[in-house]
Amino acid sequence: MDDSIKIITLSPGRYRVYKGAEQFDCAHIDDVITCVYQCLTEQKVTSAVPVKGETIDFDRFTEFFNSSVCGTVIPQVRKLTDKRKKTIKARLAEKEVTKATLMEVVTRAAASDFLSGRNGQWQHCSFDWIFNPNNFQKILEGNYDNRHYEIRQESLSSGRGQRRNPTAYDIARDLLGESSG
């Protein structure tokens, strides 16, 4: 059994401490320090609230999912089957996954031009595809986020009269026949 201790920031002023299978929520950094000390010294943790696993209102979550994917090719959920409920519970049982994480993944999928079908390249995204463990993680990590590349113009010198290597912006301007200023 893994007894390593891991600390994550859930939001500003909200932390979660993991020790093996145990999870504790802390509202202040001082509580985190005390919690870690209590875990390391095998004391009963009194400085934090044990996390028993988040529960979710499946009807409200279905409503959230359907409103999020409205206007995309992602089909709305007609029925949240027991298998789908089990899948949601499995994602919630994973380390660092909260209800907010579930909502973030749905929102990212609906916002993705690829997953939502807006770019016309793929139209097979669904509730079950999104909550597949591998796909869920990829969406969470931003693999399907829209990519908007910005070319920034930088000055031609790096100070002290030294010339730096040209940027993609400089090269593009040169190729287009625009002066570099």
- Nearest residue to 56 (alpha-carbon basis) of 26, 90, 23: 90
Q: What is the pLDDT of residues 2-38, one digit of tens each?
A: 678 888 887 777 788 888 777 888 878 888 888 888 8
Q: What is the pLDDT of residues 83-134, one digit of tens each?
A: 999 899 888 878 788 888 999 999 999 999 999 999 999 889 999 999 999 9
pTM of the model: 0.56
Token duo for residue 60:
């409200």
- Domain coordinates of the chain in residue numbers? 5-50, 58-140, 149-181
